[in-house]
Structure 1
């Protein structure tokens, strides 16, 4: 997971180069893979003013907006730093774990899987997470 954050961060630094943004895709299985594929089709084309761009390699489990300003990976493992009994804040009905070590990394916690979102400082975190809540809830019904 650290490698993905570093890859996304490097992509931000190299964003002037254009083209697809490199993000390592997760490999979800079963119901999680199905929900992630559904989520991909429901994600907005524009998120907090940033347009969706291709990722490299192409994956139904990855979405990127802007020049790696916002990156989403669906079907990631449970965050290692998350206490399973921890009370998490909800935004529009979706519980979000904020990584205590990497303040730009948030993970939506659903019954059938985890959706990781990295948000650059250029964007308002609560607004981005709020905009992602409806598609996540639709793809991962309670």
Structure 2
């Protein structure tokens, strides 16, 4: 038979295309990761691991947090957690139920029992200047530590922490005083 054993001409044969799993699996994995990792502008805030009692206070705080801080809308956080929240871009970040700040921990090299705290609308905060110029403020004298990080964009050189006033009502209502 001229042209070989084919019943149809070679150009009319169906072409079988096979990609081995080891070739296409990484491609599919990358596409899946890209498609599923869209955070839609979510802020990455690491979630603390509070004790059971602190977790209850933090969940109550989460439910009372304002929709806006310093005029900026609340954002979603990644990972989603009842112990974190964020506002604006760059984000003002809140974490509830974290460890005692080093500056308040006896035996720590950064311990400073005379560190200056400030009271804003009935909530005592311990502000600490961060290397990038922002401020981390942590509540004192509360049953759970509430930490707020304010980026330098909002604090300026003077260390403005006026954003903390927006948290006062929620902290007073949800996290009782006492250590």
Q: Deviations over 1:19-76 (max 9, x none)?
A: 2111110010122110000000100111111110110010000000012420000011
In structure 1, C-alpha distance between the alignment counterparts of 2:151 and 2:74, rounded to whole Å: 15
In structure 2, C-alpha distance between the alignment counterparts of 1:43 and 1:63, rounded to whole Å: 8
Give the 5 Å matches for 1:38-57.
38-57=60-79
1:130 correspondence with 2:161: no
Match of 1:139 in 2: 174
Which structure: larger Rg? 2
TM-score, structure 1 as length reference: 0.78
Give the 5 Å matches for 1:1-142.
19-82=41-104, 83-84=112-113, 86=115, 88-102=117-131, 103-123=134-154, 125-142=160-177
* SS at 2:56 equivalent: helix
Q: Give the Å deviation of 1:101.
A: 4.7
Gaps (5+ residues) in structure 2?
1-38, 105-111
Gaps (5+ residues) in structure 1?
1-16
In structure 2, C-alpha distance between the alignment counterparts of 1:65 and 1:79, rounded to whole Å: 22
Q: Any runs of at least 4 consecutive aligned residues in structure 1 with deviations exceeding 4 A, and if so which?
A: 84-87, 100-103
Give the number of equivalent residue pairs: 126
TM-score, structure 2 as length reference: 0.63
Match of 1:9 in 2: none
Q: Give the Å deviation of 1:85.
A: 5.6
Q: Contact (CA 8 Å) 1:110, 1:140: kept in 2 or not?
A: no
* SS at 1:113 equivalent: coil
